[in-house]
Homo-oligomer: A and B are copies of this chain.
Amino acid sequence: MNFASDNTAGAPPEIIDAIVRANSGTDSSYGADQASRRLTRKFSDFFGTDVTVFPVATGTAANALALASITPRHGVVFCHQGAHIHVDECGAPEFYTSAKLVPVPSPDGKVTLSGLRDAARHFHRGDVHHAQPASISLSQSTELGTVYATSDVSAISAFARAEQLAVHMDGARFSNALVSLGCTPADVTWKAGVDVLSFGATKNGALGAEAVIFFDSAHVGDFSYMRKRAGHLFSKMRFVSAQLEAMLDGDLWRRLATHANSMATRLEAGLGAIPGVTLAQPVQANEVFFTVPNHTARRALLDRGAKFLLWSPPADEIPLIRLVCSFATPAEDVDRFVGCVREVL
């Protein structure tokens, strides 16, 4: 019953097989290998438009490098107050961009237009005293397991265009969002105004593989130099690229994310029926946030072997619990956990 994160799972056989297949003979290094060179076509097909692809191995690297491509040193990045880039990457965006992150509050993890407007009005364009608004980062799905509708993304992108801001999407759980929305990858990215995407594969089953996807090559800039000088250009890049390729081949990404999402939905259904449980957020991807009435109940769940994170400060009287499902979460674990909660309450 490990719901601590989707990164506590390992990798499905398809990923391991891809690594093994990639390990045949010599190949060019630093991304000139065959697997890496195939990625451009495969991701372009996936998105239905010509994209530029840069594989990296961690989500923090993908995000920080993507933001550094669209944000000058004197720029402002707007993001949700609870965005991973703001609260979970130890200042990586500041390190890579040297810019300022300005958090936008909202209860459901999604940046709102009114929140953006409020945040942006403190930073006047062309005023040398103000860090200059440069970009917006959206997490899809969000840190609270919610998903932006394509219309949400389009509306924010329209604001961004009007204000000359670039739009980044942190897609650490992009596959889960796609499955949830049932739309095409294009619909919720470039067609909705996204300029650059951190396409996550690790949380969805890769060992360590993410892709920075530029929909507009004008934003690429010095990316390849920045990646290298950050130490994120792998000499044996084929082993990173092979994982990404495997994710796209036969829509593996979809199968894996569909399972994860369905386990979250199963949790939602089970937990929602238990008196004393309150679901704190709509379950739209692979995460479930819910409260139990007290810490005694929470600890009783831990005692029964469940692993999860406490999402509220420990001092809060009503514990908010986060559950994350992965491609590997067994239905039995879900059912067992629901049973435990029922027992405990």
Binding site for B on A (CB under 8 A): 2, 4-5, 7-11, 16, 19-20, 22-30, 56-65, 72-76, 81-82, 86-92, 94-95, 98-103, 121-123, 128-132, 202-203, 207-208, 222, 224-236, 238-240, 307, 313, 328
Residue from B24, B101, B236 within 8 A of A202 (CB atoms)? B236
Question: B10 touching A203 by the CB < 8 A rule?
Answer: no
Given A26-B307, A91-B229, A92-B231: 17 more A-B contacts, CB < 8 Å: A8-B29, A10-B23, A10-B239, A11-B236, A16-B19, A19-B19, A59-B231, A60-B228, A60-B233, A63-B231, A65-B231, A73-B95, A74-B229, A90-B128, A91-B100, A92-B229, A231-B232
Instruction: Check A225 against B95 for contact (C-beta < 8 Å).
Output: no
CA distance A57 to B58 in the complex (A): 10
A230 interface neighbour in B26, B92, B228, B233, Cβ under 8 Å: B92
Tell me if A's interface is mostly helix, strand, loop or mixed.
loop
Using A203-B235, A236-B10, A240-B208 as known contacts, say yes or no to A87 and B122 having CB atoms under 8 A apart.
Answer: yes
Closest to A15 in B: B23
- 11 inter-chain pairs at a CB distance below 8 angstroms, sorted by A residue, are A7-B236, A10-B239, A16-B19, A56-B231, A63-B231, A86-B100, A87-B129, A90-B128, A90-B129, A91-B100, A128-B225
Say yes or no: B91 contacts A131, CB within 8 Å.
Answer: yes
Complex CA–CA separation, A203 to B29 (angstroms): 11
Pairwise interchain contact B208-A57, C-beta atoms closer than 8 A: yes
Asked if A89 and B228 sit within 8 Å, CB to CB, the answer is: yes
In the complex, which of the residues B4, B73, B224 contacts A91, with contact meaning CB atoms closer than 8 Å? B73
Rounded to whole angstroms, the CA-CA distance of A98 and B132 in the bound complex is 17
Q: In the assembly, what is the distance between CA of A235 and CA of B237, in Å?
A: 18
* Interface-central residue, A226, A231, A236, by most chain B CB under 10 Å: A231
Closest B-chain residue to A105, C-beta based?
Answer: B105
The answer to whether B16 touches A207 (Cβ under 8 A) is no
Q: Which of A59, A90, A233 has the most CB of B within 10 A?
A: A90
Picked from B8, B89, B202, B224, the residue with its CB within 8 Å of the CB of A28 is B8
Select from chain B the residue with minimum beta-carbon distance to A74.
B225
